[in-house]
A and B are shown apart, each in its own frame.
Chain A
Amino acid sequence: QVHLQESGPGLVKPSETLSLTCSVSGDSLSGECWNWIRQSPGKGLEWIGYIYDSGDTNYNPSLRSRVTMSIDMSKNQFSLRLTSVTAADTAVYYCARLMIPFGGGFDGFDMWGQGTVVTVSA
């Protein structure tokens, strides 16, 4: 059974960098599309971006200048860095797997972590 688990600091100071890791068990990172999504009362669900095992990434343009994703195949983990955070980045952050059908395109996020609350405050 596939299990995703987010980890990282729950409190980040304004202007600093938010760093989260998603540990995946029960599945290899190979051949899959791994995503970060966040949810806040003000903005709802927001897709942050994805990374493949090749290291190829695609980021939401609204966050692209501040986001970096990386992947560590040896640890079966992928990570998110978000720089220069403000209170607007306070949210529940989820990691999730995006299904890729044989015919191309995408199907939906079928596996999610439980989510981790990140608060930006001094």
Chain B
Amino acid sequence: DNQLTQSPSFLSASVGDRVTITCRASQGITNFLAWYQQKPGKAPKLLIYGASTLQSGVPSRFSGSGSGTEFTLTISGLQPEDFATYYCQQINDYPFTFGPGTKVDIK
């Protein structure tokens, strides 16, 4: 399987901060990478696909970049509603796999 790792696993930040999460794939996936946000008791919500394309309705403070094996999700100006867990997912190889998640908490 194509394993995904995320760093950091946990991140403490303040409202207004710029936050960056990294996702690394064990094998190259070109740009077939998506990012999700999940809040407790809720299903994941698609934020970004194609490594850098913002899903409709998602605020522009979210951005994604990268290709191959290394990707980043950036939140520019963290808002109170952004405190959640973030997952990356590759959809290049079967089976599709998810990263272990990065929890963004309030400092």
How many interface contacts (CB-CB < 8 Å) are there between A and B? 59
Q: Which residue of B lies closest to A114 (CB)?
A: B43
Please measure, in the bound complex, the distance between the C-alpha atom of A105 and the C-alpha atom of B50, giving whole angstroms: 10
Residue from the list B43, B89, B97, B100 in contact with A108, Cβ < 8 A = B89
**0/1 per residue, B87-107, Cβ < 8 Å to A?**
101011011111011000000
B49 at the interface (CB under 8 A from A): yes
Among B48, B50, B87, B92, which residue has the most Cβ atoms of chain A within 10 A? B50
State how many residues of chain A have any CB contact under 8 Å with chain B: 22
Are A108's CB and B46's CB within 8 A?
yes
The answer to whether the Cβ of A31 comes within 8 Å of any Cβ in the partner chain is no
Question: Which of the candidate stretches A8-16, A42-50, A74-82 sits at the interface with the other chain?
Answer: A42-50
A17 → chain B closest CB, angstroms: 22
Tell me the interface secondary structure of chain B in the complex. Answer: loop
**In this assembly, does B55 line the interface, its C-beta being within 8 Å of a C-beta of chain A?**
yes
B91 CB contacts on chain A under 8 angstroms: 98, 105-108
Q: For the complex formed, measure the closest distance between the CB of A111 and the CB atoms of chain B, giving whole angstroms.
A: 8
For A60, give its contact among B43, B46, B95 (CB under 8 Å).
Answer: B95
